[in-house]
Structure 1
Amino acid sequence: MGKVKEAEIDSVLKNLYTVLMRLGFFDGSPKFENLGKPDVCSNEHIELATEAARQGIVLLKNEAETLPLSSEKIKTIAVIGPHANATSAMIGNYAGVPCKYTSPIDGLSKFGEVIYEMGCDGVLCKNESLIFPAMRAASKADATILVFGLDLSVEAESLDRVDLLIPGYQSQLISQVAEVSKGPVVVVVMSAGGVDISFAKNDPNIHSIIWAGYPGEEGGRAIADVVFGRYNPGILCSSSILLLLQMRFDVICILDIIPLFLFDIGGKLPLTWHENDYVNMLPMTSMRLRPVDSLGYPGRTYKFFNGSTVYPFGYGLSYTNFTYKPVSTKNKLNIRLNKFQHCKDLEYSDGSYKPACPAVLIDDLKCESHKVELAIEVANTGKRDGSDVVMVYWSATSGIAEAPIKQLVAFKRVLVKAGRSEKLKFELNGCKSFGIVNNSGYKLLPSGGGKIEIGDGLLTVPVQINFHRGAL
């Protein structure tokens, strides 16, 4: 006899299929039956794919404001690396049939004469034989762009990496090409996960680094637009694609701008890029997030790892400069508890103040009425129009042993013209934004003081959470 009764399985299946029927999973797709390639591959959809790639690109290094490059000064471009002519590698896992591909070579050829050298025979880069021709090309070109990284032969479903390094001779290719390049050197990384590129980060011959992820079918065009700082945003604001972009990226679009303008990069890293030694600090089969000091286990994610990194979560440079200042705040939560709402205990570190009511179970609260409001002004103090992803973090009261270092609770992307400012408003649900999960798996709202941080601590706003019995 099995551990689960057949009647229990039947009950679960009934619930599952009831939901599927309500969602229309068995109604067919009559609205989409007559759609074909012309509908899917419209100019608007191609532009959407390009814009998604542009907004996802992250600027990691930009010494002496090397980027964006000037098409008036740069006439010849050495495009080198295993991903220089990438097509299918750009779409990663679980992709549909692309309308077409625009490789990095295709995109960059719109801005100058391209000199293409592979440098490596694929991302595994098992020999050095193609490095010298790449060095020769870089020594002649006005600028060198190295496009390298990973692909599905290295990282994929059921295929995990054993380290955080780029494979084979790729790092040697990059360093040797950068050493002999006549002009500025730009490195473009394609990968899903983080890679330890400390060698490139610290190399004075490498002036700029951008991470493109797997940028999709129009990735080459997006990379070129970012490298040269140019694209036509008027298309985005003049059609239904604006609505699509607002839905996907929370974009505030500025209308009535000139057809061609200098585009700023504003992407942020969605994951921590660890140093390669990190893989030796913990068993890769362990999914535990919190650190274990007795085992020398450092913890996972930006929430719990506080060691050195190649690039931290949320990192991303810009072609311009932004400042933040608060406009208004509603930063106190005074919550009245009834007789059915009970205080829950939390573990505090030695010497820390422990309030009489440390926390309350979130499921016991009416969360929709407990909100913190914050309005800030984002000023563009640079000389270039640009977009900024404003990231809002929450840190709970210091001393709570089970709380993360910080956690991302909101973000918005805003476009700001040079010398101008825009106001952003954030409304944070207290339960969703300030709650923590303890070691037993319960979601709790802790009492006491905490803080909201904008960006990397550029602006800090204190928040107070108080629980009361009886009238407030």
Structure 2
Amino acid sequence: MVTGHKFLNDSNEDAVAQTLKAGLDLDCGAYYPKYLGNAVNQGKVRESNIDEALQNLYIVLLRAGYFDGLPAYKALGKNDICTNRSIELATQVAREGITLLKNDGPTLPLNTATFKTLAVVGPHANSTVAMIGNYAFDPRNPGSPCRYTSPIDGFSTYGKVNYAAGCGDVKCRDASLIPPAVEAAKTADATIIVTGLDLSIEAEGLDRLDLLLPGKQTDLINQVAAAAKGPVILVLMTAGGVDISFAKTNPKIKAILWVGYPGAEGGRAIADVVFGQYNPAGRLPITWYQADYINKLPLTSMQFRPDDSQGYPGRTYKFFNGPTVFPFGFGLSYTKFNYTLNATVPSLSAKLQRFTHCHDLNYMANKTKPTCPAILVSDLQCGEYIELTLVVQNVGGKVGSEVVLVYSKPPDGITGTFLKQLIGFQRVYIAAGASQEVKFVFNGCKSLGIVDNAGNNILPFGGHTIIVGDGVASFPVQVTFHN
């Protein structure tokens, strides 16, 4: 705020005053110790503000048992952390985050009776530290995971692994290591290509230059796929989206998994998914744009809404109106789920207070503007709720989990608003042939509100829509206002 953004021309005392009063109780740096005293003396912070922050911090310490006579936390060591239970939890977390993006055939899951020899190739095939991602190591207090299970370690428990790196690192600057990877794929019953990015490509303070795989990784994937004897499974270890349209449409690449940065047990989790010990149910948390997206907007632009006059497609699933490689929320399973909508509340009536004012909205030329287009959410009591009950049935042959996503869509015709917004999700585990009821309860203002171009949080009048998943079920919610 002081040395970087500078947009408020803050002094050090201004910055700590605004930050503390905004709710940041703990400063991990030196600003609070250095400048809070001066801020109090200058009348910018009350002692009561500091008391409140301290109370919050001590409540956390009390809840953690810090003052209960328990052994000091500094006495806890590796044996207290690296238990079998902790390792199993790390593995399960990694499994649940894996997202199945393609599965022709279906090819996955593989079975050990047929696929006994495996070529595991690519710059992340023997990944360890890269699986951890960011914020894992503090140079002031260095540490390391209990252990690493790399992809080749994970796949070695299912078959005989022939490993070839294919690239020197994820930047894959030359093609000299590709031939051994190609040779490995020629004789294997199945080939797993583990590629992607790492903190040398994407990190805080390090912007990517494009949305493609780095260096010769695309060449590695295409050459290995062309030569492979058996099915090819592409595993992507990244945080951000990558344009892999070439792999998505390549008939030789039968399956694609996105695993994020899966943590120390990532290799075991990947192998468990590929061989069907776990049925994947992850969903993409971001939109994967096509590579030319970066040419359609200046990267200095913070505008989310599209601007057709400039050829600008907007940002995020809420506003982006162009083609994608894979959309936000996408993810496949080894089984199939059907949804049945059981009960809804189709209308919501918001009570207007004595001094409530109608808020104006812009509409498309062919739409009639309501008498009272919208109300500021802050002017409403927001006591109205929408209930949604679904029955999710596993109609496939495998036990699995399903992530039920629920979106809201504003009334048609309002300009500048989002296409849809996620308002709730639940993960449910369902045996093959079984079903489970899933219930959602949404606050009307929070779930149907929109933010206009001026930053006002408002509730529009008219016909909203609740959408389940990719449109597998939907129903209207009529919003009206009354005195």
Deviations 1:26-83 (A, max 9, x none): 9695553332211222222211111111111100000001001101111111000000
Q: Is the 8 A contact 1:374 1:426 kept in 2?
A: yes
Give the 3-state SS of the residue equivalent to 1:315 in structure 2: coil
Query: Is 1:23 equivalent to 2:56 in the alignment?
Result: yes
In the alignment, what sits opposite 2:25? none
Q: 1:16 to 1:95 in 2, by over 3 A?
A: farther
Q: Is the 8 A contact 2:353 2:379 kept in 1?
A: no
Letter in 2 for 1:383: G
Q: In the TM superposition, what are the counterparts of 1:247-266 in structure 2 within 5 Å?
A: 263-266=278-281
Q: 1:342 to 1:157 in 2, by over 3 A?
A: same
In the alignment, what sits opposite 2:412? 398
Q: 1:212 to 1:5 in 2, by over 3 A?
A: closer
Give the 3-state SS of the residue equivalent to 1:422 in structure 2: strand
Q: In the TM superposition, what are the counterparts of 1:284-323 in structure 2 within 5 Å?
A: 284-323=299-338
Query: Is 1:57 equivalent to 2:98 in the alignment?
Result: yes
Give the 3-state SS of the residue equivalent to 2:418 in structure 1: coil
Measured after TM superposition, the shift of residue 13 of structure 1 is: 7.5
In the alignment, what sits opposite 2:134? 93
Query: Is 1:168 equivalent to 2:215 in the alignment?
Result: yes
Looking at structure 1, the residues matched to 130 and 450 of structure 2 have their Cα atoms a distance apart, in angstroms, of 38
Letter in 2 for 1:342: H
Q: Is the 8 A contact 2:337 2:395 kept in 1?
A: yes
Q: Is the 8 A contact 1:268 1:316 kept in 2?
A: yes
In the alignment, what sits opposite 1:411? 425
From 180, 183, 194, give the equivalent of 1:133: 180
Deviations 1:185-243 (A, max 9, x none): 0000000100000110010110000000000111001101111111xxxxxxxxxxxxx
Query: Is 1:152 equivalent to 2:199 in the alignment?
Result: yes
In the alignment, what sits opposite 1:281? 296
Looking at structure 2, the residues matched to 463 and 209 of structure 1 have their Cα atoms a distance apart, in angstroms, of 38
Measured after TM superposition, the shift of residue 461 of structure 1 is: 1.3
Deviations 1:250-275 (A, max 9, x none): xxxxxxxxxxxxx3111100000000
Q: Is the 8 A contact 1:331 1:373 kept in 2?
A: no
Deviations 1:270-312 (A, max 9, x none): 0000000000000111111001222221110010111101000
From 181, 198, 203, give the equivalent of 2:245: 198
Looking at structure 2, the residues matched to 219 and 422 of structure 1 have their Cα atoms a distance apart, in angstroms, of 30
In the alignment, what sits opposite 2:439? 425
Q: Is the 8 A contact 1:435 1:443 kept in 2?
A: yes
Query: Is 1:216 equivalent to 2:263 in the alignment?
Result: yes
Query: Is 1:361 equivalent to 2:384 in the alignment?
Result: no
Q: 1:447 to 1:140 in 2, by over 3 A?
A: same
Give the 3-state SS of the residue equivalent to 1:411 in structure 2: strand
From 344, 349, 365, give the equivalent of 1:350: 365
Measured after TM superposition, the shift of residue 24 of structure 1 is: 2.5
Looking at structure 2, the residues matched to 227 and 414 of structure 1 have their Cα atoms a distance apart, in angstroms, of 21
Q: Is the 8 A contact 2:306 2:321 kept in 1?
A: no
Q: 1:80 to 1:3 in 2, by over 3 A?
A: closer
Looking at structure 2, the residues matched to 193 and 382 of structure 1 have their Cα atoms a distance apart, in angstroms, of 31
TM-score norm. by structure 1 comes to 0.89
Looking at structure 2, the residues matched to 60 and 132 of structure 1 have their Cα atoms a distance apart, in angstroms, of 27
In the alignment, what sits opposite 2:164? 117
From 327, 349, 354, give the equivalent of 1:334: 349
Give the 3-state SS of the residue equivalent to 1:289 in structure 2: coil
Q: Is the 8 A contact 1:117 1:134 kept in 2?
A: yes
Measured after TM superposition, the shift of residue 15 of structure 1 is: 6.1
Consecutive unaligned residues of structure 1, counting only runs of 5 or more, are: 231-262
In the alignment, what sits opposite 1:41? 82
From 449, 457, 480, give the equivalent of 1:435: 449
Deviations 1:124-156 (A, max 9, x none): 101111111111110111110000000001011
Q: How much identity, in percent, do the aligned residues show?
A: 54
Looking at structure 1, the residues matched to 358 and 176 of structure 2 have their Cα atoms a distance apart, in angstroms, of 68
Letter in 2 for 1:273: W
Q: 1:156 to 1:5 in 2, by over 3 A?
A: closer
TM-score norm. by structure 2 comes to 0.87
In the alignment, what sits opposite 2:233? 186
Looking at structure 2, the residues matched to 4 and 197 of structure 1 have their Cα atoms a distance apart, in angstroms, of 47
Measured after TM superposition, the shift of residue 6 of structure 1 is: 5.9
Looking at structure 1, the residues matched to 337 and 290 of structure 2 have their Cα atoms a distance apart, in angstroms, of 29
In the alignment, what sits opposite 1:73? 114
Looking at structure 2, the residues matched to 14 and 175 of structure 1 have their Cα atoms a distance apart, in angstroms, of 64
Q: 1:114 to 1:15 in 2, by over 3 A?
A: farther
Give the 3-state SS of the residue equivalent to 1:324 in structure 2: strand
Give the 3-state SS of the residue equivalent to 1:207 in structure 2: strand
Q: 1:215 to 1:12 in 2, by over 3 A?
A: farther
Give the 3-state SS of the residue equivalent to 1:39 in structure 2: helix
